[in-house]
Amino acid sequence: MLFSSLTFLFAFLPLVFIIYYIIPNRYLRNVVLLLFSLGFYSWGEPSYIVLMLFSLVFNYSFVLVFDYCKHKHNIVLARVIFVLTIMVNLGLLGYYKYAAFLIGNINFMFKTNLPLVKVALPIGISFYTFQILSYVVDAYYGKVKVQKDFVLLSTYVALFPQLIAGPIVRYQTIEDELLNRKENINDVANGIRRFIIGLGKKVILANQAGLIADTIINQSNYVGFSLAWVGILAYSLQIYFDFSGYSDMAIGLGKVFGFHFLENFNYPYIASSITDFWRRWHMSLSTWFKDYVYIPLGGNQVKAYRWYINIFIVWFLTGMWHGATWNFIIWGLYFCIILIIEKIIMLKVLKHVPDFFRHIYALFFIVLGWVIFRIEDPTKMIQYFKTLFGMNGNNSIKAFYHLEIAHLFPYLLLGMLGATPLVGVILKKMNKHTLTGMLLDVYLLGVFVVCIIFLVNSSYNPFIYFRF
């Protein structure tokens, strides 16, 4: 089920909201959220609710077991069970997401004929697996208390606002709120506002930018230099508003039900370096890899050659996390190389460069990275890069009109503006005062109405990060 679907907006969400607030008991409210969350997850593919339930029961049970062993001072057995728990979680993720990719490459390289694993990718498996792993690791090392109530732990993992596409919520972020949260009218109102902003990002900006990007990139053999740049810039806006829009909706829905998730985006396209970009983009994933992979490997507190290995591992895994195709791995290693170069020399150079040129530098390499991310076929990817650098000639920007997407150009301009902090600053200032706050609510109501009009007239258009 999509947040940006009429079924969710006018059936699922009102129903869960009404039932949730009718029930006065906090624990029973968690039961309501859990049941609706499982229903939400099973809506599109009911069979994978079995995998979700297995994951919930398995991790709940095994964490209790290794915690019991630790309290009985059987550290060796506790560690064995802990490692087994990690391996089972990674094994499930590996089987469903990477088995076909691995077997296909083995067959290609060694000329074997191993049967391919034909299973559909469970939606959101990368997100909820990483969320579970963070709890398992933190519980083992005593960073959080082991949750002994199955309903509360399951609510944390399966909570529908963040279940499908993040943010990746750490257990300690909402540990106290599972039983002690205080819902209030301000949080509900601000949550609804945040949800509408995210909905607008997705429906009005991301989907329209996506039409431009798909039209140009899918016809890349017939476009030249100018249109190629328009196409990849449109995709850059599409993926930002698509994913940050989902995060806004998730954070907003969390507030509606009394939860406070951490931010996941901080205007990444105003970054002044690639290092800065990754502190602003998908922050819950970046910090996850930092805390659970990079730092345990030694981080940057090691010799140079070890640091190179550490950052290679992190970015190889980051690429793999996004998908079981070579373009995602190349995308991860692309940023690995740039970050190494920045660490060695570029950050020192950039200190002496005016802000404007630092932003241009960062945007240039970010946008080139999206070419790798977007185009899976290596031949088409190389062809697109050639076009971007003028090796396939140029066509007039007038060709934009011949592709019948010229009417979408204003959405690109609006998206460029929305990718900066300007709009956010204005909205925050408006929300501080009664009169302007009322105007803001009227404006957001208008945005919601426009979104509904778009949704009524549109076809199925899922979030990009659903496939990860």
Which token pair is 227? 């249109």
Q: Using an 8 Å Cβ cutoff, are 165 and 124 in contact? A: yes
**Length of the chain as a residue count:** 468
End-to-end CA distance of the chain: 16
> SS3 of 45, please?
coil
The CB density around residue 230, as the number of other CB atoms within 10 Å, is: 21
The CB density around residue 89, as the number of other CB atoms within 10 Å, is: 20
From 353, 343, 350, select the one nearest 300 (Cα to Cα).
343
Please report the DSSP string for 432-451 in residue order: TSHHHHHHHHHHHHHHHHHH
Residue 404, by phi and psi: left (phi above 0), alpha (psi -120 to 50) or beta? left
Rounded to whole angstroms, how far apart are CA atoms 376 and 382?
11
Helix residue ranges per DSSP H, 325-354: 326-341, 347-350
Max CA pair span of the chain: 74
The CB density around residue 67, as the number of other CB atoms within 10 Å, is: 19
Tell me the CA distances in angstroms from 237 to 33, 97, 240, 294, one per residue in order.
33, 27, 5, 29
Which token pair is 130? 């990483």
Choosing from 71, 260, 322, 359, which is the catalytic residue? 322
Q: How many helices (H) and strands (E) would you count in the chain?
A: 24, 0
From 181, 192, 190, select the one nearest 30 (Cα to Cα).
181
Q: Using an 8 Å Cβ cutoff, are 100 and 117 in contact? A: yes
Secondary structure of 269-309 as H, E, C letters: HHCCCHHHHCCCCCHHHHHHHHHHHHCCCCCCCCCHHHHHH
**Catalytic-residue membership of 322:** yes
From 241, 207, 159, 255, select the one nearest 418 (Cα to Cα).
241
Q: Please name the residues in contact with 321: beta carbons below 8 A apart, sequence gap of 6 or more.
A: 126, 130, 285, 468
Catalytic residue IDs: 322
